Structure 1
Amino acid sequence: MNTAIAFILIFGALVFFHELGHLYFAKRAGILCREFAIGFGPKLFSFTKNETVYTIRLLPLGGYVRMAGEDPETIELKPGSKAALLLDEGGKVTKIILDNRDKYPQARVVEVEHADLEHALTIKAYEEYEDEAQIFRVSEKAQFVSGGEETQIAPYNRQFGSKTLGQRALAIFAGPAMNFVLAFLLFVIIGLVQGIPVNKPIIGELVAGSAGAKAGLQHGDVIQSINGTPTETWTDITTLIRKNPGQEITMELQRNGKSMSLQVTPAAEKEGKETVGRLGVYGPVEKSLLGSVQSGAEQTYKWTKLVFVSLIQLVTGQFSIDALSGPVGIYNLTGKVAESGSINLLGLTAALSINLGLFNLLPFPALDGGRLLFFAIEALRGKPIDRHKEGLVHFIGFALLMLLMLVVTWNDIKKFFL
């Protein structure tokens, strides 16, 4: 598989599932989600559905869900400004046209005295040639029209800050949580396709040209004993083979219901400071939905524990920052793994998804974990931290993350060319 295609698919899956978690629970809470973006920078592709603009952007550095109320609104209706109001049959404002008003001849041109588009949803304004101001009721889904683009207004009850602490926390936590869900699903798929290792004394696949293949072992052979020691599990077999590097051993086995004996000499291979025996054979596997689900859960837990320990070591200085990989490093790794097959590519995607989920849960500003930390402080204080102060902290955190990304990317580039 082409490296670029594989990288795009992996990156897209990781970001899509992460942001989908944010989007789903934000929408369930009634929050207006203005944009669902994969990537940053210039827009490559977009379409609008159910109030949300879905975009793919140029730079593969992450993604975001832009929720109403998290950032200052880009369009305001200020006193003294002129606008054209398009009304529905019930007399409610459905469009607030700020420029190119001549394109809407049926709209009513007004000069705004006061507008409340968050709570009362009203516009107090003077129509042309009228001395008395009128109050226009505004639809919850009214659109600003400016520069040829439409932007939906955000009443307070549709803003992120209007929701309960639990709803806000769930909308943020759901992003990293979906990365663990993705990893679990991928491990389940791997189990269904590849099979789940079982601890039975049966020969599975053999490596061509290996000691086991040369000695005449075959797939499906049931090993009953090695050098007279009974073998009841695959663990028994591997333990005895490891203890006899370069030494001939006698295997009693059953093949197609017939008993037979084979003389086998395990190859001697270095494993750290130790020399162990290897036959070049794999254990048996079984394919089942229940087994795959159980294996998926076990693999997800195992990788989560491994990544968590690595993050702790990074924070405590036991793990060098030079060992971290950014987009360039992941791109190179993707190319190597793609050459070994689609199953290994699925495994890499699952591992990266867990990495992304755990990294985002770190209590660092600008990350999901940093936002959850502010929610925890809010719960203890009984009131939220000032939005401007929190925003400043997240801005500094984002700048530091970008700096880290530059350092990691530079290290990746040096590794690539050295």
Structure 2
Amino acid sequence: MNVLQLILLNVLLFFVLVTVHEWGHFYFARRAGILTREFAIGFGPKVLSFVKGETRYTLRLLPIGGFVRMAGEDPELVQINPGQRIALAIQDDKVTHIYLNDLDSRRDALQGVVEDIDLEHKLFVRVDVDGVLHKFAVHPQAMMVSKDKETQIAPWDRQFGSKTVGQRALAIFAGPLMNFILAIILFISVAFMVGTPLPDRIRIQSTVDSSAAQKAGLMAGDVIIEVNGEKIAGDSKKLTGLIQDSANKPMSWVVERDQQLLTKQVTPVLTADNAIRVGVSLGPDTRPATISEAFQFGWKNMVLYSTLILDGFGKLATLQVDMDELGGPVQIVQFTSEQAAAGWPQYVNWMALMSLYLGLFNLLPVPALDGSRLVFLGLEALRGKPIDPNRESMVHFVGFAMLMLLMIAVTYNDILELIKG
């Protein structure tokens, strides 16, 4: 597999995992009626951006995550205050556009000074036009235009904070949930790709170039039936023992290939380090997995890997892991490339594992992660009133800064490992 293919498969891994996660937030926010201002993959400067419906979709430069910006989660970027001069575009007796600058160029708009305005609850604006007060209703999807940048207003019923605790919690939890769903789908797919092992049949997975196996004509996919007249079935220990007793001695191997039995003469080689090699990697023969077997395989891997990941989080939280042992983006790229080079089953299994990891990691009660936001919603449900938004925002900001510092630290470790070779 060439370098370009490996790069594309690394990009695909990041894009799929982050997109699925953010789509979960986006979909359930939309279902709850929340205005979603932006759906972003990556952070930092915009590389690609377009608007569809009410949402701006962006691809950003730094591949370290993504976000869905919901109305009301942060203070609105554009504020209009009494005494400010604005221009209004009116259609069917409702304001559709509110212009904040370059007013002289808005020839088809009505200009005036704001006397009173409410763009959240009552949706109206009262302006003084040449000494005469005029009151206009504002369309719930009206646009505010500042320096040619349009921002849709967010009435209270379209804001994140207006929804029930349950609706908000679902919109937050849906990100990790989509990662879990993707993980089990991919684990099930791996089961269909590799099949169900047959314990009584051993198959050659690969052969080493210029090895005794290749010289004898053995090939990947051959099923070993018998060696020197002895049935092998699924007994790999017996096969290994026969090889170890036959250094530089011809052996008679009977293999099954394309439903035909073939006899090959194989001579194990005694290497310089006194190891006796044939030059094959072995694995169980397989048959196509049934739907039931594939689902069992997928669920078993979900439980197994979840246990391992959570155990790792526990060791990290209790400082049982040395910082030097932590890997970052560079190591992830390296391992992803190795799995991709090993074949599609390994790559898909790795993508499933990473999706599961991303889902579980985001549920940790760490500020700036989804788990922390769910904790705040839980506290709100217990108290009967929300936490001060400014305090919550500060907690998430500090948490995000700490995560970025951790990212820098593990990336530094990655670079040191590369330098050390």
Q: Tell me if both proteins adopt one fold, taking TM over 0.5 as the criterion.
A: yes
Matched to 1:195, the amino acid is V
Partner of 2:135: 135
Matched to 1:134, the amino acid is H
Matched to 1:12, the amino acid is F
Residues 124 and 136 in structure 1, CA contact (< 8 A), matched pair in contact too: yes
Partner of 1:48: 51
Q: Aligned-pair distance for 1:76?
A: 1.0
Q: Give the 3-state SS of the residue equivalent to 1:207 in structure 2.
A: strand
Partner of 1:106: 108
Residues 226 and 240 in structure 1, CA contact (< 8 A), matched pair in contact too: no
2:256 & 2:146 partners in 1: Cα distance?
80
Matched to 1:161, the amino acid is G
Matched to 1:320, the amino acid is D
Matches within 5 A, 1:2-13: 2=4, 3-13=6-16
Partner of 1:301: 303
Partner of 1:376: 378
For 1:313, which of 312, 315, 321 is the aligned residue? 315
1:337 & 1:370 partners in 2: Cα distance?
32
Matched to 1:204, the amino acid is R
Residues 204 and 224 in structure 2, CA contact (< 8 A), matched pair in contact too: no
Q: Aligned-pair distance for 1:362?
A: 0.7
Partner of 1:406: 408
Q: Give the 3-state SS of the residue equivalent to 2:206 in structure 1.
A: coil
Q: Aligned-pair distance for 1:223?
A: 5.8
Check 1:143–1:259 CA distance in 2 against 1; reply closer, same or farther (3 A cut). closer
Using the size of structure 2 for normalisation, the TM-score is 0.84
Moved more, 76-85 or 279-288: 279-288
Matches within 5 A, 1:223-262: 234=234, 237-238=235-236, 246=244
Check 1:199–1:289 CA distance in 2 against 1; reply closer, same or farther (3 A cut). closer
Partner of 2:395: 393
1:334 & 1:177 partners in 2: Cα distance?
23
Partner of 2:202: 203
- 1:282 and 2:283 aligned: yes
Matched to 1:246, the amino acid is Q
2:261 & 2:179 partners in 1: Cα distance?
49
Partner of 2:181: 181
- 1:311-341: CA deviations, max 9, x gaps? 1121122222222222222223333333333
Moved more, 166-175 or 314-323: 314-323
2:366 & 2:315 partners in 1: Cα distance?
16
Check 1:226–1:389 CA distance in 2 against 1; reply closer, same or farther (3 A cut). farther
Partner of 1:166: 166
Partner of 1:37: 40
Q: Give the 3-state SS of the residue equivalent to 2:393 in structure 1.
A: helix
Residues 227 and 239 in structure 2, CA contact (< 8 A), matched pair in contact too: no
Check 1:230–1:347 CA distance in 2 against 1; reply closer, same or farther (3 A cut). closer
Q: Aligned-pair distance for 1:50?
A: 1.8
- 1:26 and 2:60 aligned: no
Q: Aligned-pair distance for 1:203?
A: 3.0
2:259 & 2:15 partners in 1: Cα distance?
50
Percent pairwise identity: 43
2:200 & 2:86 partners in 1: Cα distance?
80
Matched to 2:202, the amino acid is I
Gaps of 5+ in 1: 269-276
Residues 202 and 220 in structure 1, CA contact (< 8 A), matched pair in contact too: no
- 1:340-366: CA deviations, max 9, x gaps? 334433232222222211111111111
- 1:82-125: CA deviations, max 9, x gaps? 11111112x11111111122343221112111111111111122
Check 1:60–1:252 CA distance in 2 against 1; reply closer, same or farther (3 A cut). closer
Q: Aligned-pair distance for 1:389?
A: 1.4
1:411 & 1:254 partners in 2: Cα distance?
48
For 2:73, which of 70, 95, 99 is the aligned residue? 70
Check 1:281–1:10 CA distance in 2 against 1; reply closer, same or farther (3 A cut). same
Gaps of 5+ in 2: 271-277
Residues 120 and 155 in structure 2, CA contact (< 8 A), matched pair in contact too: yes
Q: Give the 3-state SS of the residue equivalent to 1:30 in structure 2.
A: coil
For 2:327, which of 325, 328, 345 is the aligned residue? 325
Matched to 2:68, the amino acid is V
Residues 241 and 279 in structure 1, CA contact (< 8 A), matched pair in contact too: no
Q: Give the 3-state SS of the residue equivalent to 1:205 in structure 2.
A: strand
Residues 194 and 345 in structure 2, CA contact (< 8 A), matched pair in contact too: no
Q: Aligned-pair distance for 1:201?
A: 1.1
Residues 222 and 255 in structure 1, CA contact (< 8 A), matched pair in contact too: no
Partner of 2:147: 147
Q: Aligned-pair distance for 1:178?
A: 1.4
2:19 & 2:194 partners in 1: Cα distance?
28
Partner of 1:274: none
2:241 & 2:308 partners in 1: Cα distance?
28
2:228 & 2:165 partners in 1: Cα distance?
63
Q: Aligned-pair distance for 1:255?
A: 9.3
For 2:349, which of 330, 347, 350 is the aligned residue? 347
Q: Give the 3-state SS of the residue equivalent to 2:181 in structure 1.
A: helix
